[in-house]
Every structure is written in structure tokens, then in C-alpha cells.
Chain A
Amino acid sequence: MIRILAIVIISWGIIGTIIDAANGIGPSAANWRDLVVAGLAQGAMYGLIALGYSMVYGVLGFINFAHGEVFMSGAMVGFFVADKLFEAGLWVDNFILAFLIVLIASIATSTLVAVIVEKVAYRPLRAAPRLIPLITSIGISFFLQYAFFGLFGPAVKNYPQLPTWLTQKRDIFGVLQIEGTKIVVLVVAVVAMTALYQFVERTKTGRAMRAVAEDKEIAALMGINVDRIVVTTFAVGGAMAGVAGILWAMLFRGVSFITGFLPGIKAFTAAVLGGIGNMAGAMTGGVVLGLFEGVGPQLVLGGLGIPGVSQLKDVVAFTALVLVLIFRPSGLLGERLGSEDRA
């Protein structure tokens, strides 16, 4: 019943938009293209954060609600480094070097935060019922948010201006015009994702991670140090969140203590959308969700004749989560969970 209703509403909305477009009202083709590109860039960022959720869920079987704050901490510390580099002049003189330093600082911070959180809060709860670590992670999320609020103040911190050679629009194949920053975001995301994929598929540690995700006890019997692998998982997830933090800064510039909340939830949505525990799925889910969020409000809600659709972006994302869980709870590419986490 719910399924039919959802399909009817969505198709009605899309048809409405098409009719509008045929009649020449609504956004122009260039607008649509911009929406798609913005959605893609944002989706790539969601995908990177989603990896952290997905990997932790695959290994430990719970939602690390505080992962959004791990992402925020990287972006926040990145800001302070970027600001100092700007004052020192390096940001203007040699942007690429400065950018690399900021990126490394952000990755280091996020990794550190993720590892500390695992050690302090999650390790003692390894054997607890699965809702207990989830509730703990909500507490950590709050603690981190308001610790950053207390330490660094409530103000939104704006990264220094990016150089103009980066932000100007560029022609791609003569058809698309894309802002340089969005190209960089996409490239960085793809590089990070490929590196991670190689790490998990090719290295010994990566194989151990997959083994632990499959079955902790058997993995331990095979001589794998489960605790160490779990820490590695958190560290790698944190590093990806750190990369995402800098990408966020490039797309939006502003960072504050609540920056982590919404991207966190959406990245989790992306992880579920792609199939939790599945790394390629996390990235796919991120991109699909980003696109959906970029285009969806116009496409579906605009067609239904609802005003102020851009306000409802988050509603679209959350509705997507609900719909995915109703239609295909195992995600687009299928979930990969150990035997005890499947429920």
C-alpha cells in the first residue's frame, strides 16, 4: 500500500515537471545541469563520510552516530591551519602546498578523534546489546559538538578565499561548464576512494578487516588481532571523514560546531542506500543521494506544485532513506555483514 502510494506520488511529480518543462516554465536546461553537478560534488563528499559508517557497521554492527562529528572536527581544525597559513602568506603564494598541509591536518585530526572515541567509548561495549553502543555514540556526538562549541566558540568559521584560477568555471568537452572546485572535489574523492579500495582489497590488513567483518571469533582464531583491526577500521573511516571535511570546506567554506550533524545523517542514509558494509555501495549511495538531493526537490516536489522546494532538500533526503528501507532494505549493491549482524 505504502509502496504504491509512494510510486504514484513520485511519478506524478516527475510527470508534472516534464509537463512544466514542455510548456517552458520551471528551471532551464542550464539550471538542471548546475543542479546535477552540485549534486554530484556533494554526493562524492557524502560517499566519503558514508565509508566510515559502512566500515564500522560492517565490522562492529552498530551505527557510529558520532561519525558526523569526526568529519566536523577535521574541517574545524583544517580551518585553523588554513587561517594561519593564510596569515603567513603561504595560502596565496603556493596554494597547492598549503592545501596539502591543510588536508593532512584535517585527516590527522579526524583519524585521531575516531581512534580515541573507539578506545574510550566503544571498546568497553563490544559485548553489549546493539542499542547500547548506538546510544553511547549519540552521547559522544553531543559531547564532541559542545566541546567544540566550548573550545572554539559558536561562530561560523569561514575558510580563506580560494584562488580564482580554481573557482572559475571551466569547459569540459565543450558541453559542460563546471566550477574548478567541483572538479577538484570529484577528483580528490575518486583518488581517496581508489586508495581505500586498494588498501582493503590488496593489503594484508585489508584482508584482516574483511575477515573480522565476516566473523570476529573465527578471525581471532586465525591469529588476527581483532582489537587492532577495529582500531584500524575506525582510523581509516576517520581519515576518509577528514578528506570529506576539506571537501566540505571547498564547497561551502563555512564550518561551525553543528556542521557535522546533517552531513552525518545523510552519509548514513547514503551508506544504507548503497548497501551497508559494502564499500563500493557507500560511494555509489553517496553519489545517488547527492544527485537525488540536488535534483529531487525540483523534479518531484516542483512538479507537484509545492513552493519553496529548496527548503525541502533535507526532507527529500530523509524521505529517500525511508523509501530505501521500505523498498530495498539491503541497499542498491547489497549489504555485506557478518553472520551475527544480519537481522
Chain B
Amino acid sequence: MTASTATVDRPVRSAVDVDWRRVLKWGGLMGLTMAFVASIGMLEAFDRRLIINPYLSLGYLAIGWIPFAFAYATAHEEVKEGIEAPVKGLRDVVAGAAAGLVGSAGLAVFIWMISTFSLRDIFVKLSPVLVRLLTFDTSVATGVLIWVAIMVGLGALAGVMHVVTPRLRKALFSGVAWALAVSLLEAIVKDAFDEVKLRWLSSWAYNLNGGLEAIPAIVIAIIAGIVAYRYGGTIPKARRTYAGLAPERRLRLSVIGIVLVLALFIGLPLIVGGIVNELLANVGLFLLMALGLNIVVGLAGLLDLGYVAFFAVGAYGMAVLTSPFSPRFAPALDFWVALPIVILIAAIAGLMVGTPVIRMRGDYLAIVTLGFGEIVRILFLSDWLSPYLGGAQGISRVPFIDLGPWEIKGSNPKSIFYLVAVFVVLAIYISWRLQNSRIGRAWTAMREDEDVALAMGINTVTAKLLAFVTGAILASFGGAIFAAKVGTVFPNSFSLLVSIIVLVVVIVGGMGNIPGVIVGALVLIGVLGGPTQPGLLQEFQEFKLLIYGVLLIYMMLKRPEGLVPSAMRSRELHHEELTQDAWLAKEPEPAADGGTA
């Protein structure tokens, strides 16, 4: 069999014309990654959560995506500028399958090692249960053979994905993705279906012990696949039409869109149950902080790693002012009276952090702000301030927020959600207005090039301080609500982790872009969870921070502009590529003879 789709002028390539070094490299990495995932205990920890009952558990999914993804990467050939794209064909399938074979060899060595030697006193997660799971309850030899079959199959499948048309590929991917998503989001879907009296549907789809039944899973995948295949190009087309509209009509459509989204968010807590409301409240809290950090990092380009300090100041300020149990100074004010004072304190804190660091270069600033964040936490924890702030015990009994007929309290997540939502909308409005204002443009200019901005007459000192203060105020909103929600503040809620996670939210979503930050908060905090707050996938609790680290690295390497990039930011980051493309477009000849400048 040869690649029969080749056109006349392209040479037909044989099926074994594979870059074997690449296969070895990626296959080896595949084996290593799978051994790593098994060694940190993901397979065992996730095994109880079923995805498709009884065939696939989350544990096997966590390890099973690896051969597919790595084989997909193996089969991928880089298309260089000026060289014709290679014909896709059987070659890709062979490459994928070969990578799967190499990887399975690596995994076989791993399985053999953990079943023969006792390594458990070093690697704590290499338990007998893991061996049983890896060998599918059979002997080591049989287990290895099963893995070889699975991985070669998955590798070949990944290769096939390269050969099919992009449209079909998208449809297949979205079919599988939807089936998995519906299964993973079981808790929400069930809750929502209960609320709208569709329990019969959810009890048909889900097994009693959790996980989708096989037939509903296939049905969902097929429906999603067909929809994706049929209506694949609709959204980009709609976006193009939208961009082509007259400004007034575009504005009107935007307003309608925003109103619809708002209505959805107001109605949402009524449909979903308590867990999801709690989740949404957490998402909102982090979104509030992320919006603030977005101004500091995304717009002004000041990498602030001690952002949690302002969150802590907000929370402690609110706790001291409202709680009757504050150790020394307890005015026991009302939330709304205390809020302006907290904002003022946060603004002063922003100035205090901002002033000394203002003339430092970007990377020093990052470390110094990190230092400030830690200083604040240690001070709150210390004996020195404990007569005022309660030391390690913190301050308890921060009262509910009284709103006349309603009461906003932590035990009623719906009320917290609405409160957070109000602040989030406010924060979005502030960010949006600031972004396009004079100071917003000054920030952007400063981010792009400080010297030029200075030369253009921008007062960079004021601009930087304003960025710090705005960020601090938004974070203190978050802190104040956090204090009222949790009811107790103590120093360990304000570790460096909070700063880093908020940073990941901003970066993964898209620096300098409000919709990006919203998406980032929904996806990361909603699904994975915050530093201590569980997300939708509560099983991930143990591995959350590992995943955050990987995400940060991956995004920086592959997509530094984030999931939803802001136009200007991505232009800045890919500036070199764009100029290169333009240059190549003008003069295509010199590129071919290897003139690497």
C-alpha cells in the first residue's frame, strides 16, 4: 500500500519513510511520562472515579491520553517555510504506531521493575494496587502484552487523525471531548437536570456508581460529532460577519450579548445546586483578584508576585473592622461602612509596596513583591502583631452581611455568589473603562517600552503607582468578601500559592484581556479549584499544583498570549514571526537555500 492521495507533482513516499529518531525520542518520552504519572499515584487515586462504566476510569484516562497525544506529536511533521508540505498517508500511521511500540517497551520495563523490586520505601506511591492496576489483574507478561496492544493501537489511531480531513478530525475530537466532559461534569449535569425535572434522562445516562453508561456515551459522542461536522465553520463565520458590521450595529449587538450573558448569570444559581453555587462563588472571588492582577501584570507589565498581600490586607481589614472578636481594636462596624475604609487601607498598602519598587527593573520587581507578600504573611503570623491580629489563630466570627431583607452568609453560597457577581461586574466595568482611557493607554505604552513611554511624556512613576493601587483595591474587594464568606481569617490562607494561582489564571486566560481572564478563572478555578478550595474535579486536589505548574510551563512555551489572547499582546509576542513572514512573502527565493540569518 502506498499513499494513494498523492498529487502528480509530489513524490509518493513509502510507508516506512519515517523519521526514526523522532519516533525513538517521542516514544521514550511517552514511556517516561506514563511511568511518571503512575509513580505520582494518579492512576491509583483516580481509579475509583468511573468515566464510562465499567470500561474506563479516570485513572486509565489520566494515563491513556499520553500515548495518543505523544503519538500525535510524533506523526506531526514540521512544515518549513519554502518547502512543500509532505503528503499525509500511511507513513503517519506507521510513525504513530511505532512510537506507541517504543513507549510500551518503556512502560513494560517500568511494570517489570515495580513488580520485581520493592521500591516503595523511596517512591511512596508504588503500591501493590498500582501493579495490579497496571497489569489489569493478570500476570506481568499478559499485562505488558495488553499495554503493547493498547498503545500501538492508540498510536496508530493518532496517526490516522493526521490523515483524515481537518473537518472530520475536529468532529471526531469534539465527539470524544463532549462525551468525556459530560461524564466528568456529572455532578453539575445531574444537579441541573434535577432542577429542571429531567431526572429520568440523567438516571438513564449515568450509572448508579458514577460514570456514563456505554450507550449514552456513544450517543453523546455521535451527536456532538455530527453537530461539529455539520456546523463546524459557523462560529468563525459569525465572527467575520460581526467584524464586518457597521459600528453602531456592532455596539447594539454587543449590548444585547452582554445583557444575555448577565441574565444567564443571574438565572444560573437558581438552576444549579449548592455545590456549583459554592464553586461559582470561588470562581468569582478569584476572578476579582485576577482582574486586579490583570491590570498590574497584563496592562502595566509589572510582574507582581506578592499580590496575595493585598488580598490579605482586604480580608484582615474587614475582619478587624467588623468582627466583635477582633483582639484589640473591635469597632464591629457594618460591612458597608467598613468597605470604604478597607479600600482606603488597601490603596495605602498599594502605595507602600509600589513606592520602593518603582525604579526596579522587571525581574527584580517580581522577587521584591514576592518578598513583600511573604513579609505580610509572616507579620500576620508573628507574636509581635498577635495582640492586634490574633497570630496563628487569626480573627474569628466575621459577621454576615446584612442587606435589609436578605442576609449574605457563607452557609448560603447563592447569596455569596450574587454579592461576588456584583463586585465582579463592577471590576470588569472598571477594568474595561480603564483599559481604553488615557491611563490605560499609558500603561500599555509603558509595558511595550518604558523608555519610549517616558520620552512620549508619560509620567511612568504615577502610572505605575496607579496600577499598583488599582490592583490592590480590586484584590481588597476579594479579601473583604472572602472574610465575610469564610467567617474566619488566619494567616495561612494567604500563602504565596494564592499569588501564583492568580497569576496562572491571568496567564492561561490571556494577559491584558478581560474575556481571557474570565475564561481562565472559569476553567482553572472552576475545574481544578483554588489553593484550598476544591474545584469541580475534586479528585484533582492532590495533583492540582502540579498541573498548575505544567500549565504555566506549557502556556509560556507554546502559547504565551493565553487561551483568549488580546490582539495587541499577541502581536507584540509574535512580532518577530510576523516580520519574518512578511519578509518571506516578499522574497521567497533566498529562504530555500538555507540562508539562516
Name A's B-contacting residues (CB within 8 A). Answer: 2, 62-63, 80, 121, 124-125, 127-136, 138-147, 149-153, 261, 265, 268-269, 272, 306-308, 311-312, 314-315, 318-319, 321-322, 325-326, 329, 343
A residues in contact with B372, CB < 8 Å? 318, 322
Select which of A132, A134, A151 is within 8 A of B125 by beta carbon.
A151
Taken together as a complex, chains A and B put the C-alpha atoms of A179 and B389 apart, in Å, by 39
Taken together as a complex, chains A and B put the C-alpha atoms of A242 and B421 apart, in Å, by 49
Query: A321 contacts B367, CB within 8 Å?
Result: yes
Query: A121 contacts B360, CB within 8 Å?
Result: no
Taken together as a complex, chains A and B put the C-alpha atoms of A319 and B573 apart, in Å, by 34
Taken together as a complex, chains A and B put the C-alpha atoms of A315 and B378 apart, in Å, by 7
9 closest residue pairs by CB, A with B: A150-B40, A139-B552, A308-B383, A142-B549, A143-B549, A318-B371, A153-B124, A146-B546, A139-B553
B residues in contact with A141, CB < 8 Å? 549
Taken together as a complex, chains A and B put the C-alpha atoms of A322 and B306 apart, in Å, by 13
Query: B360 contacts A130, CB within 8 Å?
Result: no
Taken together as a complex, chains A and B put the C-alpha atoms of A140 and B550 apart, in Å, by 7
Select which of A147, A312, A321, A322 is within 8 A of B384 by beta carbon.
A312
User: B503 → chain A, closest Cβ, in Å?
Assistant: 7
Query: A315 contacts B36, CB within 8 Å?
Result: no
Name 16 A/B residue pairs within 8 A (Cβ), A-sorted.
A130-B362, A131-B301, A133-B556, A138-B503, A139-B550, A142-B500, A143-B549, A147-B36, A151-B39, A268-B367, A306-B384, A308-B383, A311-B383, A314-B378, A322-B356, A322-B357
Q: Given A2-B356, A307-B384, do A322 and B371 touch, yes or no (CB 8 Å)? A: yes
Query: B557 contacts A125, CB within 8 Å?
Result: yes
Query: B362 contacts A325, CB within 8 Å?
Result: no
Assess whether B41 is interfacial by the CB under 8 Å rule: yes
Q: Which residue among A132, A149, A150 has the maximum number of chain B CB atoms within 10 Å of its CB?
A: A150
Chain B stretch 79-131: residues in CB contact (< 8 A) with chain A: 122-125
Q: Given A143-B546, A151-B39, do A319 and B560 touch, yes or no (CB 8 Å)? A: no
User: B56 → chain A, closest Cβ, in Å?
Assistant: 23
Name B's A-contacting residues (CB within 8 A). Answer: 36, 39-41, 122-125, 301, 303, 305, 355-357, 360-364, 366-368, 370-372, 374-375, 378-379, 381-384, 496, 500, 503-504, 507, 542-543, 545-546, 548-553, 556-557, 560, 573, 576
Query: A138 contacts B383, CB within 8 Å?
Result: no
B residues in contact with A269, CB < 8 Å? 367, 371
Taken together as a complex, chains A and B put the C-alpha atoms of A6 and B414 apart, in Å, by 48
Query: A326 contacts B36, CB within 8 Å?
Result: no
Query: Given A315-B379, A319-B371, 13 other A-B contacts at CB below 8 A?
Result: A129-B573, A130-B362, A143-B546, A143-B550, A145-B549, A146-B543, A151-B123, A265-B374, A311-B384, A314-B374, A315-B378, A321-B368, A329-B360
Select which of B303, B362, B549, B576 is within 8 A of A139 by beta carbon.
B549
The total of interchain contacts (Cβ-Cβ below 8 angstroms) comes to 150
Taken together as a complex, chains A and B put the C-alpha atoms of A11 and B379 apart, in Å, by 21
| B556, closest chain A residue (CB) | A136
Q: Given A125-B557, A152-B124, do A322 and B549 touch, yes or no (CB 8 Å)? A: no
Query: A136 contacts B383, CB within 8 Å?
Result: no
Query: A318 contacts B40, CB within 8 Å?
Result: no
Query: A139 contacts B551, CB within 8 Å?
Result: yes
Select which of A142, A312, A325 is within 8 A of B378 by beta carbon.
A312
User: A262 → chain B, closest Cβ, in Å?
Assistant: 9
A residues in contact with B303, CB < 8 Å? 131, 134-135
User: A47 → chain B, closest Cβ, in Å?
Assistant: 18
Select which of A62, A127, A132, A134 is within 8 A of B560 by beta carbon.
A132
Q: Given A150-B39, A150-B125, do A319 and B375 touch, yes or no (CB 8 Å)? A: yes
Query: A142 contacts B374, CB within 8 Å?
Result: no
Query: A121 contacts B553, CB within 8 Å?
Result: yes
Query: B375 contacts A315, CB within 8 Å?
Result: yes
A residues in contact with B496, CB < 8 Å? 261
User: B202 → chain A, closest Cβ, in Å?
Assistant: 34
Q: Given A128-B560, A142-B546, A143-B546, do A325 and B381 touch, yes or no (CB 8 Å)? A: no
Query: B381 contacts A150, CB within 8 Å?
Result: no
Select which of A132, A147, A343 is within 8 A of B361 by beta carbon.
A343
A residues in contact with B375, CB < 8 Å? 314-315, 318-319
Taken together as a complex, chains A and B put the C-alpha atoms of A80 and B119 apart, in Å, by 11
User: B7 → chain A, closest Cβ, in Å?
Assistant: 34
Query: B546 contacts A147, CB within 8 Å?
Result: yes
| A133, closest chain B residue (CB) | B556
A residues in contact with B355, CB < 8 Å? 2
Q: Which residue among A80, A314, A322 has the maximum number of chain B CB atoms within 10 Å of its CB?
A: A322
Query: A63 contacts B36, CB within 8 Å?
Result: no
B residues in contact with A152, CB < 8 Å? 122-124
B residues in contact with A138, CB < 8 Å? 305, 500, 503, 552
Query: A121 contacts B557, CB within 8 Å?
Result: yes
Q: Which residue among B122, B125, B381, B548 has the maximum number of chain A CB atoms within 10 Å of its CB?
A: B122
Taken together as a complex, chains A and B put the C-alpha atoms of A125 and B573 apart, in Å, by 12
A residues in contact with B379, CB < 8 Å? 312, 315
Q: Given A146-B545, A152-B122, do A134 and B551 touch, yes or no (CB 8 Å)? A: no
Query: B546 contacts A265, CB within 8 Å?
Result: no
Q: Given A80-B122, A314-B374, do A131 and B356 touch, yes or no (CB 8 Å)? A: no
| B355, closest chain A residue (CB) | A2
Q: Given A147-B36, A150-B546, A307-B383, do A62 and B363 touch, yes or no (CB 8 Å)? A: yes
Q: Which residue among B360, B370, B553 has the maximum number of chain A CB atoms within 10 Å of its CB?
A: B553
User: A67 → chain B, closest Cβ, in Å?
Assistant: 12
B residues in contact with A129, CB < 8 Å? 573
B residues in contact with A143, CB < 8 Å? 546, 549-550, 553
B residues in contact with A149, CB < 8 Å? 546
Query: B364 contacts A142, CB within 8 Å?
Result: no
B residues in contact with A265, CB < 8 Å? 367, 370-371, 374
User: A49 → chain B, closest Cβ, in Å?
Assistant: 14
Taken together as a complex, chains A and B put the C-alpha atoms of A223 and B550 apart, in Å, by 36
User: B481 → chain A, closest Cβ, in Å?
Assistant: 27
Q: Given A146-B545, A152-B124, do A135 and B371 touch, yes or no (CB 8 Å)? A: no
User: A104 → chain B, closest Cβ, in Å?
Assistant: 18
B residues in contact with A2, CB < 8 Å? 355-356
Select which of A125, A130, A135, A153 is within 8 A of B552 by beta carbon.
A135
Query: B556 contacts A150, CB within 8 Å?
Result: no
Q: Which residue among B363, B366, B375 has the maximum number of chain A CB atoms within 10 Å of its CB?
A: B363
| A308, closest chain B residue (CB) | B383
Query: B384 contacts A308, CB within 8 Å?
Result: yes
A residues in contact with B40, CB < 8 Å? 147, 150-151
A residues in contact with B367, CB < 8 Å? 63, 265, 268-269, 272, 321
Q: Which residue among A128, A129, A141, A318 has the maximum number of chain B CB atoms within 10 Å of its CB?
A: A318
